[in-house]
Amino acid sequence: MRLPFLARTTHKWLALIVAIQAVFWTLSGVYMTAVHIDIIHGDRLVKAATPQLVAMDGLIEPAQLAQTTAGFRSAKLDHQLGQPVYVVQTTDGPELFDARSGAKLSPLDEDAARARARALFAEAGAIVKSELLTKAPLEIQTRPVPIWRVEFEGAWHPTLYISPRTGELVSKRSDLWRTFDFVWMLHIMDYDDRQDVNNILIRIFTWMGVATAATGGWLLLYSFRRKRRVRKPAAKVAAKAGA
């Protein structure tokens, strides 16, 4: 097999394969740049945090919780659902306590999780469903479980994830984010957990692109260097043969 033919065939098939992925790179890039990242993050779904004054009268001291809570490390005063609470960090993880009575509030039951999500949600849609997840879905794969998933009515299926241990908002998602996550997967070619931007597949396609450019450049140079034979007029050839 001649080298130019081999290079031409290699260039053609490499270009076809890389071009298909290049279409995915282009379309995914268009989406990721066309939709503002704040919209993707769903910032509009959650009410802006506003400082709330908490009356200190009647609140128990964190030192009291330290005496009654195993593995106590620290306590942070917060305000949830119209009442002051302590988010306590322990060796076994965070816990939620009533700041007046010292009663343990966590883990939150479904009614408390729905109320907390409704208080945080910035739009008017009602709650469609809520469920306690013991396995994190792909869209919040790095978040700890168990976790409450509360879905609301509205465009793009807005969803809030609430920690049952602290009542805090863990994450917010919508179909716009889910679409972004899908095109991100296509863009970085990580079809597993969608986090590795230096995976083996994208490295293979990178070198395929280099090989495509190299074979294309060689064919271009070859086409310039190739000498064309000049064909003589037929009449002159016949006259020369008759002589």
Average the pLDDT over 220-240 and give the result. Answer: 60
**Reported pTM:** 0.82
- In terms of domains, do 66 and 102 share one? yes
What is the predicted pLDDT for the residue at 239? 53
Whether the CB-CB separation of 54 and 62 falls below 8 Å is answered with: no
Average the pLDDT over 228-241 and give the result. Answer: 54
Give tens-digit pLDDT for 18-28: 999 999 999 99
Residue 229 falls within a domain, yes or no?
A: no
What is the predicted pLDDT for the residue at 228? 55
* Cα–Cα distance measured from residue 226 to residue 234, given in angstroms and rounded to the nearest whole number: 24
- In terms of domains, do 126 and 80 share one? yes
Residue 243 has pLDDT above 80, yes or no: no
- In terms of domains, do 122 and 215 share one? no
Please say which residue of 148, 173, 198 terminates a domain. 173
Give tens-digit pLDDT for 17-73: 999 999 999 999 999 999 999 999 999 999 988 777 777 888 999 999 999 999 999
**Number of structural domains, the chain?**
2
* Cα–Cα distance measured from residue 2 to residue 186, given in angstroms and rounded to the nearest whole number: 37
- In terms of domains, do 152 and 206 share one? no
Which domain covers residue 127, as residue numbers? 43-173
Q: What's the DSSP call for residue 140?
A: G
Residue 202 falls within a domain, yes or no?
A: yes
Residue 243 falls within a domain, yes or no?
A: no
Backbone angles phi, psi at 4, to 5 degrees: -60, -40
- In terms of domains, do 100 and 197 share one? no
Residue 26 falls within a domain, yes or no?
A: yes
Confidence of residue 222 (pLDDT cuts 50, 70, 90): confident
Give tens-digit pLDDT for 69-85: 999 999 999 989 889 99
